[in-house]
Structure 1
Amino acid sequence: MNILCGYNVNIDSVYRISGAEISELLETFEEAEILDKIENPPGKIFSESDFVAGLAYCMKYGCGAEWLVFDQSVFEFLNSRYFEKSLVRMGGNAGIMANALSQLGASRVIPNVAVPSKTQLSLFSKKAIYFPEPSMQITENERKSPEENKGAFSSSQEPIHFVFDFSEGEIFSLYGTEVRVPRENRFIATCDHLNLRLFVNPAFEQYALQHACELDGVLISGFHLLLENYPDGRTYKTILDDTFSQLKSWKTRNNKLQIHLEFGHFASKEIANFVFLKFAKLSDSLGMNEDELAVFSNLHGVSGERLQRMEADAISSAAFRLASGHGLKKLIIHTREFVLAVFKTDCEFNSRAVSEFEMDESESSILQRAAREKLEALEFGVRCAGVYAASGRLEGREFVEEEASKLQESPFGREQIAAFVKAFNGNILEQGAYTLKGNYIICMLPTMLSRSPVTTVGLGDTLTAGTFLRGLELNVQA
């Protein structure tokens, strides 16, 4: 399978910060300024004190946050102080998914790399990743054209997300007041002006246009990074218009091309809704977690609290309403405990039938075959995510199958399968379950959990990549 991955690829610089370190750091800044910013968090980083206040705020309350850095001097401060001491790894949904696809057996994976620096390229899988060469024409045009971004960062600035992990129980001094961190979490200072506007490497764009007919799929993500307004006068709407036109041009050249849009944590509900409504019909599938599903409560009408508690009947209802109300072909919801897919079927089933047992034999067979195919793709994704959590590695399919056999299903996920079957008069099929609702089939499967996970980062992206790849393969086989 030949698959494009866009748009957000970056470097994650992960550093575990101690209570003693934050105490020492706080003492180098004015008390009144920091305390005021902890009381009234700026949410963005324009100065070193903004960064320190954000980190102290998250550690004080045990919450997670990601603030964007808008000043070059802050980047230099973070880079010189922490980068060399950090765990440097692949970041960005598109980068993580590209590596997963490469390791899992895709033929060729083409990622969009905003800044192909030596460090960034070294973080990619060596199996099936392909970096298109820029043509001479592109190179000459870039040389002649003025730099697009005249703000704080240059166009050659590596996109680095500085991730500060902190542990529960760490103690630090907030200007004489002892603070104990209530829970483990992280604060992210993001220096990434190119991915914030879905920058497309010209070589990637040219390759996609020239080879669209050879492609099987496109995995796109990074929309959650969009800002309402940009220094050059553009808005997220103008950027999304360009992105939409680009995807449509690829689809026009190859009507069999499968496009999956993976959501993320949007800072703005308005932008999240705009992205969903604009790309719902163009995309062949969409993916999100339970928190992201809750953002669309205005579209599906289900309580966000129930979704965040991962109640199967609530998530099923919300996903079905979202999909059926907007004509989605497929919607995948991945949680820590289970994964659920709602997909449209072209088959006409007996509208009076409320369960498989009230259908005739041919209808029941068609329904079960369709459900089995979707569950097989989901199961592969679940295994990949479980193995990646347990080992931090994906080394081919034999490795995934061998390591997955050592994992256990989520007990809560198994309970929710039973609740799903009861709520929707569903049917058990091997490890999962399914039901027919209108002209949509809803499938559900428990996840696989590790008792001692090596990583919890990128599991949703890994599940998405595995499910998407196996789904493409099954389509070809059919």
Structure 2
Amino acid sequence: MIPEHLSIYTAYNANIDAIVKLNQETIQNLINAFDPDEVKRRIEEYPREINEPIDFVARLVHTLKLGKPAAVPLVNEKMNEWFDKTFRYEEERLGGQAGIIANTLAGLKIRKVIAYTPFLPKRLAELFKKGVLYPVVENGELQFKPIQEAYREGDPLKINRIFEFRKGLKFKLGDETIEIPNSGRFIVSARFESISRIETREDIKPFLGEIGKEVDGAIFSGYQGLRTKYSDGKDANYYLRRAKEDIIEFKEKDVKIHVEFASVQDRKLRKKIITNILPFVDSVGIDEAEIAQILSVLGYRELADRIFTYNRLEDSILGGMIILDELNFEILQVHTTYYLMYITHRDNPLSEEELAKSLEFGTTLAAARASLGDIRGPDDYKVGLKVPFNERSEYVKLRFEEAKSRLRMREYKVVVIPTRLVQNPVLTVGLGDTISAGAFLTYLEFLKRH
């Protein structure tokens, strides 16, 4: 059912995920480079961002002692050099929603995948799959180049460094011996000002209409990387206005727009993204925590708290229907560990059976990617078909039937299906993005048939 004749544009966020597998020697050498009392003192201070090496070591040791996953932003761009000198990366892979989606769709060998990120250093460009195109302007004309050839020298580089640790590793901090209680990972995510500008650059912006003529759908993501203020006087409002212009330009060419929403901790920034972007698109992809975040911004605090606390399917459906009505887009796609859901209005041309098939394509594609680590060809999709639906499938169906009996759903089409869950995944990063990309692709295909 792969719609190979479709073309998709994806923007804006792509980065490098650099993987470090920590061993006892590496951890001990890191600690030994500092006075143990200074490390302990810095752990007590609990730095909330990484500005110098001691901040990193303190937060890493704190994470290892707890054995719980954590993520801390890196705010000093000069630290890139220190990390690259200090660690050997097991693997560098493409991260960021727009990057992951572009590579997944290129692996399916659909007709055309055009990826756009405002920053394209060589190290990043080389991680995209062959077949992914990048828009460039040469001699005043728009062209699409293989993305590996379109890199720009001097562009800033966004690297998220993922430090994986194993249960049972031991190390010393002064007189104290520490044993890691659980396996997990510590993520140092780059948050420099130079890479937090989500926009279409001035050279490409006048050609967005032409790009729109080349594609059936566009998937936008990365707004969570914005800052409220920048040192040059610009702010999030400036970049969101420009992002809205991009969406409108595509909509004028009848391109369907999907936005992959992501958690935003800053409540004011979250509100700006929700009110400036979501009402202008056709499709939005979120998880259940993000349903609660959006409801909170829209003023439905009590329902948002219920979803955060109890995580009931019935509340998520009610919340989804409210979001759809308040923000007035076409279809809401919700991805969670155990179920996927579409909520759309009753007048949507797709039948509930077609909507279910679209979601099934999404979860099967994600199961294939989790099993194999990557989608390298259309046949890889079939691997996902062998992955069983999760052990809570019957429970999900029962809860959905109960919700239908309690909620007024006459004005909506609501479809819920269980997910296919890989027991020992090769990869877990970006599976929600994979589901969204697969579901949106097949949603477009069914719309075209109508």
TM-score range, shorter chain: 0.7 to 0.9
The aligned amino acid for 2:439 is T
Instruction: Out of 373-382 and 170-179, give the one that drifted further.
Output: 170-179
**What's the counterpart of residue 25 of structure 1?**
30
| Separation in structure 2 between the aligned mates of residue 64 and residue 22 of structure 1, nearest angstrom | 16
**What's the counterpart of residue 342 of structure 2?**
341
1:56-455 map, 5 Å: 56-82=61-87, 84-127=88-131, 129-136=132-139, 156-191=155-190, 193=192, 194-202=194-202, 204-252=204-252, 254=253, 256-298=254-296, 299=298, 300=300, 301-304=302-305, 306-307=307-308, 310-346=311-347, 370-401=351-382, 403-425=383-405, 437-455=409-427
- Gap change, CA 1:132 and 1:72, over 3 Å in 2: same
**What's the counterpart of residue 460 of structure 1?**
432
Q: Deviations 1:116-153 (Å, cap 9, x if unpaired)?
A: 333322211223x11223324699xxxxxxxxxxxxxx
- How far the C-alpha of 1:437 sits from its partner, in A, is 1.1
- How far the C-alpha of 1:308 sits from its partner, in A, is 7.0
The aligned amino acid for 1:102 is A
- Gap change, CA 1:89 and 1:418, over 3 Å in 2: same
Instruction: Out of 11-20 and 217-226, give the one that drifted further.
Output: 11-20
- Gap change, CA 1:36 and 1:261, over 3 Å in 2: farther
Q: Is the 8 A contact 1:112 1:204 kept in 2?
A: no
| Separation in structure 2 between the aligned mates of residue 29 and residue 342 of structure 1, nearest angstrom | 54
Instruction: Indicate which of 18, 43, 54 corresponds to 2:48.
Output: 43
| Separation in structure 1 between the aligned mates of residue 332 and residue 425 of structure 2, nearest angstrom | 27
- Gap change, CA 1:260 and 1:26, over 3 Å in 2: same
| Separation in structure 2 between the aligned mates of residue 297 and residue 177 of structure 1, nearest angstrom | 46
Q: What SS does the corresponding residue of 1:276 show, helix, strand or coil?
A: helix
Instruction: Out of 264-273 and 212-221, give the one that drifted further.
Output: 264-273
Q: What SS does the corresponding residue of 2:351 show, helix, strand or coil?
A: helix
- How far the C-alpha of 1:222 sits from its partner, in A, is 0.8
**What's the counterpart of residue 146 of structure 2?**
none
- Gap change, CA 1:89 and 1:201, over 3 Å in 2: farther
Structure 2 length as normaliser, TM-score?
0.88
- How far the C-alpha of 1:263 sits from its partner, in A, is 1.4
- How far the C-alpha of 1:204 sits from its partner, in A, is 5.0
Q: Is the 8 A contact 1:138 1:203 kept in 2?
A: no
The aligned amino acid for 1:317 is L
- Gap change, CA 1:265 and 1:182, over 3 Å in 2: farther
Q: Is the 8 A contact 1:297 1:304 kept in 2?
A: no
Q: Is the 8 A contact 1:375 1:444 kept in 2?
A: yes
Instruction: Indicate which of 423, 446, 449 corresponds to 1:474.
Output: 446
Q: What SS does the corresponding residue of 2:196 show, helix, strand or coil?
A: helix
Q: Deviations 1:400-433 (Å, cap 9, x if unpaired)?
A: 12x123211011243122111122239xxxxxxx
- Gap change, CA 1:101 and 1:308, over 3 Å in 2: farther
Instruction: Out of 158-167 and 186-195, give the one that drifted further.
Output: 186-195
**What's the counterpart of residue 149 of structure 2?**
none
Unaligned runs of 5+ in 2: 1-5, 143-152
- Gap change, CA 1:305 and 1:436, over 3 Å in 2: closer
Q: Is the 8 A contact 1:375 1:445 kept in 2?
A: yes
Q: Is the 8 A contact 1:389 1:453 kept in 2?
A: yes
| Separation in structure 2 between the aligned mates of residue 303 and residue 224 of structure 1, nearest angstrom | 20
- How far the C-alpha of 1:74 sits from its partner, in A, is 1.2
- Gap change, CA 1:289 and 1:180, over 3 Å in 2: farther
Q: What SS does the corresponding residue of 1:131 show, helix, strand or coil?
A: strand
- Gap change, CA 1:248 and 1:188, over 3 Å in 2: same
- Gap change, CA 1:332 and 1:41, over 3 Å in 2: farther
Q: Deviations 1:33-59 (Å, cap 9, x if unpaired)?
A: 433432343322211112222222322
Aligned pair count reads 431
The aligned amino acid for 2:269 is I
The aligned amino acid for 1:477 is R
Q: Is the 8 A contact 2:344 2:414 kept in 1?
A: yes
Instruction: Out of 201-210 and 92-101, give the one that drifted further.
Output: 201-210
Q: Is the 8 A contact 1:162 1:189 kept in 2?
A: yes
| Separation in structure 2 between the aligned mates of residue 164 and residue 409 of structure 1, nearest angstrom | 31
- Gap change, CA 1:241 and 1:30, over 3 Å in 2: farther
The aligned amino acid for 1:444 is V
Q: What SS does the corresponding residue of 1:296 show, helix, strand or coil?
A: helix
- Gap change, CA 1:81 and 1:263, over 3 Å in 2: same
| Separation in structure 1 between the aligned mates of residue 46 and residue 200 of structure 2, nearest angstrom | 32
Q: What SS does the corresponding residue of 2:325 show, helix, strand or coil?
A: helix
- Gap change, CA 1:76 and 1:261, over 3 Å in 2: same
